[in-house]
Amino acid sequence: MCGGPSQSPLDLGNVTFADLGIFRFQGYGLLPTSVNVTNNGQTAHVTLKTKNPLKLSGGSLPGEYVFDQLHFHWGSSLDRGSEHTIEGTKFPMEMHMVHYNAKFKNVTEATASGEQTAFAVLGFFFEVAVT
């Protein structure tokens, strides 16, 4: 819910790892028919057009989720990029892969539902390595 304790940004302090099971990525190995990248001044937003919807299931998810878009968060320095932190530590960049519950027709319907299981977002922190 907006403004609640599960809203961005989150500090993942005292992280405890749990085995969520295996995530299943359906269609992710196929090339998209087109890719659209948009820089809105805050993030690079990527949408894919594919022959069949990309789907995510498994793990601890309650059902199947459809890929909508991915976006990146980055900053002007290596310690200011990520939206979220781990025990107060920021990362140079963070990527979110946004999926909506397949029981909805689209993202708009999923958002309007207000359901806690309407979305599944996979987040990835990036680090810079000097080679």
**Based on the structure, what is the number of domains in the chain?**
1
* Per-residue pLDDT at 43: 87
Burial class, 44, CB count within 10 angstroms (exposed 0-12 / middle 13-18 / buried 19+): middle
- The predicted-structure confidence for 78-127, as pLDDT tens digits, reads as follows 777 667 766 777 777 889 999 999 999 999 999 999 999 999 999 887 78
Q: Measure the CA dihedral 104/84/54/103, to 10°.
A: -10
- The predicted-structure confidence for 9-50, as pLDDT tens digits, reads as follows 667 777 777 889 999 999 999 999 999 999 988 889 999 999
Range of the domain at 80: 38-126
Burial class, 63, CB count within 10 angstroms (exposed 0-12 / middle 13-18 / buried 19+): exposed
* Per-residue pLDDT at 52: 96
* Per-residue pLDDT at 45: 94
> pTM for the complete prediction?
0.84
Q: How far apart are CA 32 and CA 30, in angstroms?
A: 6
Residue 104 resides in a domain: yes
Residue 29 resides in a domain: no
Residue 4 resides in a domain: no
* Per-residue pLDDT at 17: 79
Check residues 66 and 11 and name the one with the higher pLDDT: 66
* Per-residue pLDDT at 84: 72
CATH of the domain at 65: 3.10.200.10
Q: Is the pLDDT of residue 1 over 70?
A: no
Q: Is the pLDDT of residue 2 over 50?
A: no
